[in-house]
């Protein structure tokens, strides 16, 4: 495995892209350097990783709720009171900055950027989930993700983010029968959500250090050792073993 000191290298002409979410994985207690190394070489698309489309629909709907409430009432929903006035968040292809030392292009797609009365920004990330201990376990990843958005926004001249938060929208199923009837229409039925806002510490100055750590791992000449107990490494090793067994059978 490579040393953790500064990696001496020539900076490539074309920067490598890394998303705020993938950068956040480096902050997880169970981070695996081998998985990051392989993931980068796969274009950040490991073959067994997928994101159900329904969650993209929930994110889109969450944004519509915020926008519609602001349009109708001139203010945010009560649970977001004090976070500011909604701005149009840049498309992911336009929201990115190259960190010069690592020469990594950090990019992402914030769910919500708001302008506060002070001129500073608030950045929110919507989650369609109940806030539980399991969700809290992912907080290091989400914290980096939001701070990465804050760092990008400041570097792009959009302003300084002083409030970051995760907004959990939990589907509610403890609804009285007589109220359920009111949610049923001719073409389907509605669903109620409860909101939990979890503030996140603001420290975008930590992002360049993480980007340089990502570059150190990516630049290793060969895959580093996997973390003991890494489920993805175990899955990959099992797949490689199966392929080797198939080759042996074919040769015989």
- In the CATH scheme, what is the code of domain 16-46+53-251? 3.90.320
| More confident position, 239 or 1 | 239
Task: Band the pLDDT of 47: cuts 50, 70, 90.
Answer: low
| More confident position, 180 or 118 | 118
User: Would you list the domain boundaries of the chain?
Assistant: 16-46+53-251
Mean pLDDT of 109-132: 94
Q: How far is CA 53 from CA 24, 56, 131, 163, 249, in A?
A: 22, 5, 21, 29, 39
Residue 53 pLDDT greater than 80, yes or no: no
Residue 6, pLDDT score: 36
Residue 32, pLDDT score: 95
Residue 71 CB neighbour total at 10 angstroms: 9
Residue 91, pLDDT score: 86
Residue 52, pLDDT score: 65
Q: Rounded to the nearest 10 degrees, what angle do helices 207-218 and 33-41 cross at?
A: 80
Task: Convert the pLDDT of each residue in 14-45 to its tens digit.
Answer: 789 999 999 999 999 999 999 999 999 988 88
Percent of the chain surpassing pLDDT 90: 62
Mean pLDDT of 236-249: 68
Residue 4, pLDDT score: 34
* Residue located via tokens 């360049």: 208
CA separation for the pair 54, 44 (Å, rounded): 21
Task: Convert the pLDDT of each residue in 154-174 to its tens digit.
Answer: 999 999 999 999 999 998 888
């Amino acid at each position: 495995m490579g040393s953790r000191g500064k990696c001496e290298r020539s900076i490539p002409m074309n920067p490598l892209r890394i998303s705020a979410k993938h950068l956040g994985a480096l902050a997880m207690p169970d981070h695996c350097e081998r998985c990051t190394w392989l993931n980068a070489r796969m274009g950040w698309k490991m073959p067994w990783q997928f994101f159900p489309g329904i969650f993209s629909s929930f994110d889109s709907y969450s944004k519509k709720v915020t926008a519609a409430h602001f349009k109708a009432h001139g203010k945010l929903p009560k649970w977001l009171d004090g976070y500011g006035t909604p701005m149009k968040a840049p498309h992911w292809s336009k929201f990115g900055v190259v960190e010069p030392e690592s020469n990594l292009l950090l990019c992402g797609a914030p769910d919500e950027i708001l302008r506060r009365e002070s001129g500073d920004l608030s950045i929110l990330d919507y989650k369609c989930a109940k806030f539980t201990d399991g969700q809290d376990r992912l907080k290091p990843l989400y914290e980096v993700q939001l701070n990465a958005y804050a760092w990008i926004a400041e570097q792009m001249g959009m302003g300084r983010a002083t409030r970051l938060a995760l907004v959990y929208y939990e589907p509610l199923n403890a609804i009285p029968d007589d109220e359920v009837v009111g949610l049923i229409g001719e073409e389907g039925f509605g669903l109620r959500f409860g909101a939990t806002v979890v503030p996140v510490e603001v420290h975008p100055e930590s992002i360049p250090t993480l980007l340089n750590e990502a570059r150190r791992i990516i630049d290793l000449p060969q895959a580093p050792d996997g973390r003991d107990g890494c489920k993805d490494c175990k899955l990959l090793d099992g797949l490689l073993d199966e392929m080797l067994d198939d080759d042996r059978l074919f040769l015989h």
